[in-house]
Structure formats: structure tokens, C-alpha cells
Chains A and B, each alone.
Chain A
């Protein structure tokens, strides 16, 4: 399923007041919850899918937990930005889970990585906490870290951009 099709599906769910749909295809699970019947998601898991070592094939937007302000236009803008980054030759590391983003192991320790660092494959880049479980997120490429998208302590959605790496 490509990005355009996902957007169309979101529109359909919103327009028709459907409680939600869940689709599993080629190892990727996509769940879209309508606002009317389903609980509003403040912060959630994508059920069972927490493959930290594998990057999801979805584009770098949060489709699991749509905040009220996320309109299709905003999502398209985010996708466009991801494409621009991709065109610039950057590898984008996105979040495999929903949670809270931390740049260091604890408030007293140094950041795992900083912009300009050379990072290797399997290097731990950050922690994403969900239900008091600290998930360490590794790099899946070797290169130079050029951008860190979230702020420390910021809530993160599934598929949200975390890091840009010049490979």
C-alpha cells in the first residue's frame, strides 16, 4: 500500500464515521482509528509490532494515533518533507513504536549521540519509553548524524522521524 492509498483510507474513515480499520500486509500492520467511536489515543502501542531493529515500510508519519490537529494536508506536508530529506541523500530513522523520546539513558548521563557524530550500525541512538519499558533504538546504518528531529522528553508516534543520517 503506497502513501497516497493510506491517505485515501484515512479520508474514508474520517468521512464515513467508521470506528476504525486494521490492515496487515507484507509484515506491516496499519491501524486507523476513527474519532467518533474509538477512544482518542493519547499515546499508544501498535499492537504487537515493536520491531526496533527493523524500520517499518510506512512513510514517516503517524497514522496509528492521529492527533486532532493532523489533517490530510499536514500529513502530505510531512511526507513531502520526508521525500525532500530522502532526495538529499539522507537516511531517515523513524520510530518503530509509540512512546516518549529520550536522548540519554537517564537525566544525569550524556546523550547517546549528537549531531556530527559518526555512528555505526547497531549503535544505540535513543530510548523510547512506553509503559515504563525503556526501548533502546539502534541505528540500522553507518554514517554521520546530521539531524535529531524530536526534543528530549517529547511524545513520539509510530513512524515519526527521529534521526537523519548521511550514509
Chain B
């Protein structure tokens, strides 16, 4: 487990909770948010890091394997202006991909809107919850990063840092500490739309003309990748039509 003395070096994150075993870091964070809102307290800028999650979840309650010592499991409590909210999903992907690229020299790429892939295999996932009050958006940014491969992994398309990085790996504590510092440093900056979009486009796994299918509930839309627009929506070209997508699961053919 990492040492909370790291806090003295952080600029944005004011509190750090390091917990050996939790159901999920997002659940713990949710209780903190509810407590603050119910009692009209300001939300702490904090990070909750768990050694292990026994009920880690991704989107749609999909199970996120979170065994001890095999991954980084963290939720960041962070407040932004409502105006920045639309680019939050893309900026979180930028932050996570840049962490893997800078610290581990991994060619991490982003699948729209914010899955992090190496090759076609998923190395990290993001689940963001937001609660808006007036002009403030209270964010719970849940992140899971595969650090070491898990035997009998139920995710055949998963990959871990130790498999993908050409560098010597110095242990999960160092990886977690670097993650906390990287998040902290990036969260200290404004989420300027143009910069966020440009960085996302540079890190995107998608190429113009890639065949894409988007599933939203019982609706399916297929087309060819045509980039993202200024609102971060995926643009799919289908015949003479361009369809802007802002929800659903994207699948690369």
C-alpha cells in the first residue's frame, strides 16, 4: 500500500484514503458525497485508493476484477465547473492514457469515449458519476488499471502494465504513487475544450474510415469513423449521412 505522506507533494488532492479492502471505491466515495450534500458541506478534493475491491463494477454494473496486488483501484472526488462537464469523459481518458505512456512507455490509445487500449486489449477503465448543483459539478471518477495479469482471467481481452511496458517494473506501490501524482498534476489545470479535444484526437485508437457499430439499448447504428465533433461526439458516416453519437457502446469491426 502507498504511503499517505505523498500528500505533501500534491497540489489538488487534499485528502487521501488508502484502504486495504473495500466493496468498491466508488461506493465509499458516494457515501462521502451524500454525507456532504445532506449536511451542506463542501466536497473534499480527495482520492480513495483500495488494495482490493470485492465488488468492483464498471458501467452497467459489469464486474471489474480487482484482486489484491494486481491493479490500481481508485476513485477521485473532484469538483469542476458545469461548463467543463461535457469534456470530462474525454479528459479523464487523456489523463489515464498519458499516465501509461509517460510512466511506462506503453502505447496506450483511447477507444471512444474513454476506454484505454493497448493493441485491441483493455488495460484501464473509467466510470464517472456526476452530481450537479448550481454551477458546480461534483465528480466521482472511478478508475481501474490492470497492473499485473490475473490468472484465470475472465476477460480475454485484458492486458496489464507488466505485459505491455518495455520498462523494468518496480512494483505496484510505485505504480500507484505515480498514478496519484499524475492525476493530481493534471487535475490542477483547466479542462480547456480545444486542448482536450486535440489531445484526445492525437491519442485516439480510431482511424478515419474504420468500420464502427454503436449499440444503444435496442438500437444499432453502423458507419465509418469520421472523428469527433467539438462536443466530443463520435461521428459515424453512413452513406451520405453523418451521425453524431453521444451514448452507447462502440464496437470496432
Residues of A whose CB lies within 8 Å of any CB of B are 39-45, 47-48, 50-54, 96, 98-100, 106-109, 122, 124, 129-136, 138, 153-155
Contacts and interface: CB of A to CB of B under 8 A. Distances in A.
- A-side interface mostly: loop
Given A44-B246, A154-B217, A133 B61 contact: no
Interface string B85-97: 1101110000000
B137 A45 contact: no
B99 to A, nearest CB: 18
Residue among A42, A99, A122, A154 with most chain B CB within 10 A: A42
Given A41-B244, A131-B90, A133-B130, 15 more contacts: A45-B86, A45-B231, A45-B232, A45-B246, A47-B231, A109-B61, A124-B131, A129-B247, A132-B59, A132-B114, A133-B128, A134-B128, A134-B130, A135-B131, A155-B216
A134 B86 contact: no
B233 A100 contact: no
A51 B244 contact: no
Given A44-B231, A45-B233, A132-B114, A100 B130 contact: no
Interface residues of B, number: 44
16 contacts: A39-B235, A39-B243, A40-B241, A41-B243, A43-B216, A43-B246, A44-B246, A47-B230, A50-B82, A50-B85, A50-B86, A52-B133, A98-B246, A129-B247, A131-B90, A131-B246
